């Protein structure tokens, strides 16, 4: 039986051809569509022997040809395009839309159903209804069950004037963009959690435990979010410029222990990044002149600088066994995570400084608590010892032993404090400036005011002075006479008004004992009973400190006197 010719009718076929429809059905294959867009869809999917435009249709055959030509443009678009009727059913669609939906002809199907009834994320939660009812454009983002994202833009159609309920909808796949945005947000969240602990957790953790927690968090988030399982972090030693390893995962041991410096040449990609502060994407390690072996069989890598508050802290490196494994988005992700790592490392540095500062404060508190009592022991022991000198040699030996032990206690406390708070652990802003002329000097401070004696310990011992104190002139003289075995004092700092004598009288008695012991007198402005300052100056006194004086004035005065006296540091 011969095949019937196929005819395409466009328009209201029922109204105009009812009288001869049955005879036509006997002779032809009849396909009827109501509008031009359904006609275009039919023409794209099948071949026809003839097209008949009914009188009821508002479009001509020439216009069909024009639309057919325009369809070629729409087919070539990278976005999906659909024409919807008033019930959101697809009248026409381009090939891109069909490909995304992974099914055959979409004509006649509900727009949302071909996208597997996606979740509407907004900003317009009824975009098709809004566009149709308001006759204005509307936008929204859709998320499908398989976690794909589409951005849709709906506008009223103007192709056929009498079809005001039709919509033209463009559909753009924004899955990559949305997933990258979500990944960036996850990285940002992870960054805040790197060194974040609740107060009740912190109080049970040492600084070393916090450091290990930070390192494990870095490894965890780098693997979970960035999917990198080979990484290395190095930190810059500010004094030497050396890049010290902080952590290494999947890196060859020889490479992890390799000595590197923050220099652009001869120190691999890591040294280059540390020196320049610029990120570096190595697409092929075998062809990159800067690359030094890190992980076994590594073919590509990314290295980013770790910068906190414009200060270079170190480098963060990840590697892959595949060539060209990383792209610009990977670089962007690692830079973002690296900034959080740098912030966390800055916090870590503060924790180390906090540890050092806390240790220093603890040692200082202990020292302050025992300094004056030990001075009292020294004073009393010296007074008792002078009574037995020449009479009871054994008693004198025991008292000398007490003096040594008391002084040893102070020295042990000071040494423990220095060991617990190494200078490199303390931020530059908190470090005490170096004063070589004061280090190791033994200073005797004579003042009846306890506050002055306490301050002398706190201020001068900060610069490694060995400080002892006395209450009056006679006690001062006894201390001077009985420290000869230790090499004597390097300097005596005395108030002009002691309970039992003035500054000039003390100076005379010190000179009688030794004329090489430097003396600095302290006095308030306008207070000079018996003109002792004038007399002392006439007798050779070089320096006077007027209360209240600043710390720098005290230090500079003592340094001038010691330098002039050219006295070597005492030992003991």
CATH number of the structural domain spanning residue 274? 3.30.450.40
Domain-embedded: residue 570: no
Do residue 497 and residue 386 come from a single domain? yes
**CA–CA dist 409, 402 (Å, integer):** 11
- At which of 144, 173, 202 does a domain end? 173
Domain that holds residue 468: 361-565
State the Cα–Cα distance between residues 59 and 81, nearest whole angstrom. Answer: 22
For a pLDDT cut of 70, what percent of the chain falls above it? 72
Q: How many domains does the chain have?
A: 4
Is residue 309 domain-shared with residue 213, that is, in the same domain?
yes
The domain that holds 37 is classified in CATH as 3.40.50
The last residue of one of the domains, among 329, 353, 377, is 353
* In a shared domain, residues 476 and 420: yes
For residues 475 and 394, the model is more confident at 475
Which pLDDT score, from 0 to 100, does residue 19 have?
Answer: 47
Pairing status of strand 311-320 against strand 300-308: antiparallel
Q: Are residues 153 and 253 in the same domain?
A: no
* Residue 178 within a domain: no
Residue 137 placed within a domain: yes
Cβ-count burial 488-507 (b if 16+ within 10 Å, e if not): bbbbbbbbbbbeebbbbbbb
Query: Please, what's the b/e burial string for 340-369 (b: 16 or more CB within 10 A of its CB; e: otherwise)?
Result: bbbbbbbbbbebbbebbbebbeebbeebee
Give the confidence band of 425 by pLDDT, cuts at 50, 70, 90: very low
Asked if the structure places residue 349 within a domain, the reply is: yes
Q: Are residues 402 and 431 in the same domain?
A: yes
Instruction: Give the pLDDT of residue 162.
Output: 53
Residue 150 maps to which CATH number?
Answer: 3.30.450.20
For residue 379, being part of any structural domain is answered with yes
* Closest CA relative to residue 60, chosen from 51, 70, 69, 72: 51
pLDDT for res 571: 42
Could you tell me if 205 and 156 lie in one domain?
Answer: no
Q: Clarify whether residues 62 and 123 are in a common domain.
A: no
What is the sign of the dihedral through the CA atoms of 257, 307, 194 and 148? negative
Q: 328 with 477, same domain?
A: no
Q: Alpha-carbon torsion 21, 22, 26, 30, what sign?
A: positive
Checking if the pLDDT of 69 tops 60, the result is no
% of the chain at pLDDT higher than 90: 22
One domain, residues 297 and 416:
no
Q: Is the residue at 282 inside a domain?
A: yes
Verify that 383 and 424 share a domain, yes or no.
yes
Give mean pLDDT, residues 54-67.
51
**pTM of the complete model:** 0.47
Question: Using CA atoms, how far apart are residues 480 and 488, in angstroms rounded to an integer?
Answer: 7
Show which of 147, 173, 199 is a domain's final residue.
Answer: 173
d(Cα 282, Cα 336) in Å, to the nearest integer?
18
Mark whether 417 and 392 lie in a shared domain: yes
Distances (CA, A) of 278 to 149, 320, 352, 462: 34, 20, 28, 41
Structure confidence by residue, pLDDT tens digits, 318-345: 999 998 988 888 898 889 888 888 887 7
Q: Alpha-carbon distance 44 to 39, whole Å? A: 9
Residue 107 lies in a domain: yes
Based on the domain organization, do 67 and 84 belong to the same domain? no
Residue 386 lies in a domain: yes
Helix (H) or strand (E) run with residue 171 in it: strand 167-173
List the strands of the sheet with 167-173, edge to edge.
90-93, 80-84, 167-173, 149-156, 138-143, 119-123
CATH number at residue 492: 3.40.50.2300
The predicted-structure confidence for 113-160, as pLDDT tens digits, reads as follows 888 889 998 899 999 888 888 888 899 999 988 888 899 988 887 655
């Amino acid at each position: 039986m011969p095949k019937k010719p196929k005819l395409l009718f466009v328009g209201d076929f029922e109204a105009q051809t009812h009288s001869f429809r049955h005879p036509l059905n006997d002779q032809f294959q009849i396909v009827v569509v109501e509008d031009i867009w359904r006609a275009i869809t039919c023409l794209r999917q099948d071949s026809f022997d003839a097209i008949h435009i009914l009188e009821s249709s508002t479009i001509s055959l020439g216009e069909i040809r024009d639309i057919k030509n325009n369809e070629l443009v729409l087919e070539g678009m990278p976005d999906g395009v659909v024409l919807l009727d008033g019930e959101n059913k697809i009248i026409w669609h381009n090939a891109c839309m069909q490909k995304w939906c992974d099914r055959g002809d979409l004509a006649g199907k509900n727009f949302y159903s071909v996208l597997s009834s996606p979740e509407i994320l907004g900003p317009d939660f009824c975009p098709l209804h809004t566009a149709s009812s308001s006759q204005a454009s509307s936008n929204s983002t859709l998320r499908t069950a398989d976690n794909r994202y589409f951005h849709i833009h709906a506008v009223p159609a103007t192709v056929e004037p009498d079809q005001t309920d039709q919509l033209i909808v463009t559909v753009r796949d924004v899955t990559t963009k949305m997933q990258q945005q979500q990944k960036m947000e996850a990285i940002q969240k992870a960054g805040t959690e790197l060194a974040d602990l609740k107060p009740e957790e912190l109080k049970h953790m040492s600084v070393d435990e916090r450091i290990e927690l930070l390192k494990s968090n870095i490894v965890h988030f780098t693997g979970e979010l960035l999917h990198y399982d080979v990484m290395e972090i190095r930190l810059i030693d500010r004094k030497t410029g050396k890049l010290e390893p902080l952590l290494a995962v999947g890196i060859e041991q020889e490479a992890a222990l390799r000595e590197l410096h923050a220099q652009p040449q001869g120190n691999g990609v890591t040294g280059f990044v540390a020196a320049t502060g610029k990120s570096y994407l190595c697409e092929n390690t075998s062809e990159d002149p800067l690359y030094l072996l890190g992980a076994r069989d590594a073919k590509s890598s990314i290295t980013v600088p770790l910068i906190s508050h414009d200060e270079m802290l170190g480098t963060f490196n990840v590697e892959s066994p595949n060539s060209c494994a990383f792209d610009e988005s990977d670089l962007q992700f690692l830079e973002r995570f690296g900034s959080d790592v740098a912030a966390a490392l800055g916090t870590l540095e503060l924790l180390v400084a906090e540890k050092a500062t806390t240790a220093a404060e603890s040692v200082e508190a202990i020292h302050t608590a025992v300094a004056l009592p030990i001075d009292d022991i020294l004073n009393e022991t010296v007074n008792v010892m002078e009574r037995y000198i020449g009479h009871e040699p054994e008693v004198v030996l025991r008292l000398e032993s007490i003096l040594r032990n008391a002084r040893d206690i102070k020295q042990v406390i000071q040494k423990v404090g220095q060991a617990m708070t190494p200078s490199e652990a303390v931020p530059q802003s908190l470090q005490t400036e170096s004063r070589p002329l004061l280090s190791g000097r033994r200073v005797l401070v004579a003042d009846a005011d306890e506050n002055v004696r306490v301050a002398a310990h706190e201020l001068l011992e900060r610069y490694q002075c060995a400080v002892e104190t006395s209450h009056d002139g006679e006690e001062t003289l006894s201390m001077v006479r009985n420290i000869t075995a230790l090499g004597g004092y390097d300097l005596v700092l005395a108030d002009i008004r002691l309970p039992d004598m003035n500054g000039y009288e003390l100076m005379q008695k010190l000179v009688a004992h030794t004329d090489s012991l430097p003396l600095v007198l302290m006095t308030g402005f306008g207070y000079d009973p018996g003109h002792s300052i004038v007399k002392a100056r006439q007798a050779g006194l070089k320096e006077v400190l007027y209360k209240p004086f600043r710390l720098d004035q005290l230090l500079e005065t003592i340094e001038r006197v010691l330098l002039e006296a050219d006295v070597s540091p005492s030992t003991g």
